[in-house]
């Protein structure tokens, strides 16, 4: 059985690695870039700063993933306790906002608690993400944080997003707990699966997949883009002009682009693909010499006049993310949509202005900036739109009929199982299914 894999990101690499574990070596991975890792790649600049494509943190409940992570890094990684904060009304509020209202002005606390109680009393069934926020958080928390913040992250109308992906991703406040924390004057900062996270000691997140790719070196063709797929004849056309046949094709490229590459498919396949929505993110890194960095992991910024939605204190993740002692770095993410594009210089300039405005960089430190990094991610978050399930339920069976499995963050287009560990598990499980016929658990059809 000849298996071709599109993409050497976490999903494609994991598929290949698992195939080898299962003793199946008749496969090739095609990667359009000269490096592996996809969105999990890292880059080191001439000044000696390491940059990720957005603030990646690693946390997982899957033993298979944890074993891959630890063995790929030969045990060389840090484990951090998350220290996440929200910048709000010129102060820092511990994350999650809804659990730490005591840091807010009294009138804001009163409105948040009153509205939370009223919302929970109503007990409505939300039909979209915006309604979910209103029903679960109440108008106060929604208006002060949840709506403006999520509008920034998704750069997409929240009322056009579904509410069925949320479980592990958003903390649903419990009225009793919120009031209890207020009365006891305590913070609760440990909510969620990433409250403890891991990070490679050297080389950024990309080091994990750089090392996995090294184990698969003979199996990866870099700088080779898959440009066309003949679903009927079961072959792909590559950017070097060659054609390769397959029995099974695993796609990890964005599903909407993939449907456009498919020759011999009904026109409706491309039309369904076009209904999938995603945002884009500009990642801007700013490296400084001198000056102390406080101990935060990252800060969230719901404000409209701050460009980024999140700033990661990246030098806190590993001292080797910076050239040496006394240096520090921030990694900032700004989401945008097709309707509001902006250019590279604008991204760097507005990010630096935002860091100055929010006090993350003091005015006198501006001249200490010794490096900037800028990376445009055209496919950043796969958006759980209202019709996403309907669209996927049409595309996937048709592809499977032709021996094609589409997996991974944008291959599967499911944000809720689109983290690094989910992607690795999707890769592993599709290899298991192809070779042994086992059922997938992370991806569902």
The residue ranges that bind ligand FAD (CB under 6 A) are: 6-12, 30-33, 38-40, 54, 56-58, 225-226, 252-253, 281, 333, 377, 380, 408-411, 418-421, 423
Q: Which is nearer to ligand FAD, 38 or 173 (CB)?
A: 38
Q: Which is nearer to ligand FAD, 307 or 408 (CB)?
A: 408
Burial 10-46 (b: 16+ CB within 10 A, else e): bbbbbbbbbbeeeebeebbbbbbeebbbbbbbbbbee
DSSP code, position 250: E
Which residue has 């063709």 as its token pair?
221
Question: What is the smallest separation between the CB atom of 9 and ligand FAD, expressed in angstroms?
Answer: 2
Question: What is the smallest separation between the CB atom of 310 and ligand FAD, expressed in angstroms?
Answer: 9
Q: Which is nearer to ligand FAD, 41 or 370 (CB)?
A: 41
How many residues are there in the chain?
Answer: 445
Q: Which is nearer to ligand FAD, 83 or 225 (CB)?
A: 225
Of 98, 219, 234, 237, the C-alpha closest to 170 is 98
Question: What is the smallest separation between the CB atom of 22 and ligand FAD, expressed in angstroms?
Answer: 19
Q: Which is nearer to ligand FAD, 39 or 391 (CB)?
A: 39
Question: What is the smallest separation between the CB atom of 222 and ligand FAD, expressed in angstroms?
Answer: 9
Of 211, 210, 207, the C-alpha closest to 199 is 207
Q: Which is nearer to ligand FAD, 62 or 109 (CB)?
A: 62
Q: Which is nearer to ligand FAD, 97 or 317 (CB)?
A: 317
Q: Which is nearer to ligand FAD, 128 or 350 (CB)?
A: 350
Give CA–CA dist 230/103, Å, rounded. 59
CB count in 10 Å sphere of residue 292: 7
Instruction: Report the residue number whose CB is nearest to ligand FAD.
Output: 9
Question: What is the smallest separation between the CB atom of 154 and ligand FAD, expressed in angstroms?
Answer: 12
Q: Which is nearer to ligand FAD, 97 or 309 (CB)?
A: 309
Question: What is the smallest separation between the CB atom of 14 and ligand FAD, expressed in angstroms?
Answer: 8
Question: What is the smallest separation between the CB atom of 51 and ligand FAD, expressed in angstroms?
Answer: 12
Question: What is the smallest separation between the CB atom of 41 and ligand FAD, expressed in angstroms?
Answer: 7
Give CA–CA dist 217/14, Å, rounded. 13
Burial 359-377 (b: 16+ CB within 10 A, else e): ebbeeebeeeebbbbbbbb
Of 47, 70, 50, the C-alpha closest to 60 is 70
Asked if 210 and 52 count as a contact pair (C-beta separation under 8 A), the reply is no
Q: Which is nearer to ligand FAD, 256 or 333 (CB)?
A: 333
Torsion, CA 203, CA 208, CA 213, CA 214, rounded to 10: 60
Question: What is the smallest separation between the CB atom of 362 and ligand FAD, expressed in angstroms?
Answer: 27
Q: Find how far residue 96's CA is from the centre of its chain.
A: 19
Of 38, 129, 20, the C-alpha closest to 409 is 38
Question: What is the smallest separation between the CB atom of 223 and ligand FAD, expressed in angstroms?
Answer: 9
Is the link from the previous residue into 96 a cis peptide, with omega within 30 of 0? Answer: yes
Of 70, 168, 44, 159, the C-alpha closest to 419 is 168
Q: Which DSSP string do the residues of 277-346 spell out, in sequence order?
A: EE-EEEEEEEEEESS---S-SEEE---TTSS-SEEE-GGGT-GGGSSSTTEEEEEEEEEE-TTS---HHH
């Amino acid at each position: 059985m000849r298996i071709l894999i599109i993409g050497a990101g976490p999903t494609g690499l994991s598929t290949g690695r698992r195939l080898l574990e299962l003793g199946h070596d008749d496969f090739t991975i095609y990667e359009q870039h000269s490096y592996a890792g996809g969105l999990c790649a890292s880059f080191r600049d001439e000044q000696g700063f390491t940059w990720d494509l957005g603030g990646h943190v690693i946390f997982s409940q899957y033993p298979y993933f944890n074993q891959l992570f630890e063995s790929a890094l030969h045990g060389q990684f840090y484990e951090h306790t998350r220290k996440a904060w929200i910048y709000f009304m010129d102060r820092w509020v511990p994350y999650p906002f809804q659990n730490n209202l005591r840091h807010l002005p009294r009138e804001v606390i009163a409105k948040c608690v009153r509205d939370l109680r009223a919302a929970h009393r109503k007990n409505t069934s939300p039909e979209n993400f915006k309604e979910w926020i209103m029903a679960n958080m109440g108008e106060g928390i929604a208006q002060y944080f949840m709506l403006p913040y999520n509008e920034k992250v998704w750069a997409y109308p929240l009322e056009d997003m579904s509410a069925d992906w949320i479980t592990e991703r958003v903390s649903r406040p419990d009225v009793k707990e919120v009031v209890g924390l207020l009365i006891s004057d305590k913070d609760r900062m440990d909510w969620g699966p990433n409250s403890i996270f891991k990070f490679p000691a050297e080389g950024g997140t990309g080091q994990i997949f750089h090392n996995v790719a090294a184990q698969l070196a003979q199996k990866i063709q870099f700088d080779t883009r898959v440009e066309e797929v003949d679903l009927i004849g079961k072959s792909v056309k590559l950017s070097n002009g060659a054609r390769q046949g397959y029995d099974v094709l695993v796609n990890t490229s964005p599903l909407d682009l993939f449907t456009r590459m498919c020759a011999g498919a009904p026109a409706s396949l491309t039309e369904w693909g076009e209904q999938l929505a995603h945002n884009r993110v500009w990642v801007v890194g700013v490296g400084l010499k001198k000056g102390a960095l406080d101990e935060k992991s990252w800060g969230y910024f719901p404000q409209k006049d701050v460009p980024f939605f999140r700033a990661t204190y990246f030098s806190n993740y590993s001292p080797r993310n910076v050239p040496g002692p006394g240096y520090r770095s921030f990694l900032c993410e700004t989401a945008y949509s097709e309707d509001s594009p902006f250019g590279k210089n604008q991204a760097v300039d507005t990010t630096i202005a935002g860091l100055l405005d929010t006090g993350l960089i003091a005015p006198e430190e501006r001249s200490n900036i010794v490096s900037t990094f800028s990376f445009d991610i055209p496919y950043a978050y796969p958006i759980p739109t209202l019709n996403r399930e309907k669209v996927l339920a049409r595309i996937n069976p048709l592809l499977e009929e032709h021996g094609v499995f589409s997996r991974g963050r944008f291959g599967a287009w499911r944000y809720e199982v689109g983290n690094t560990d989910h992607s690795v598990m999707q890769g592993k499980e599709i290899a298991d299914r192809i070779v042994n016929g086992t059922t997938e658990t992370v991806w569902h059809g």
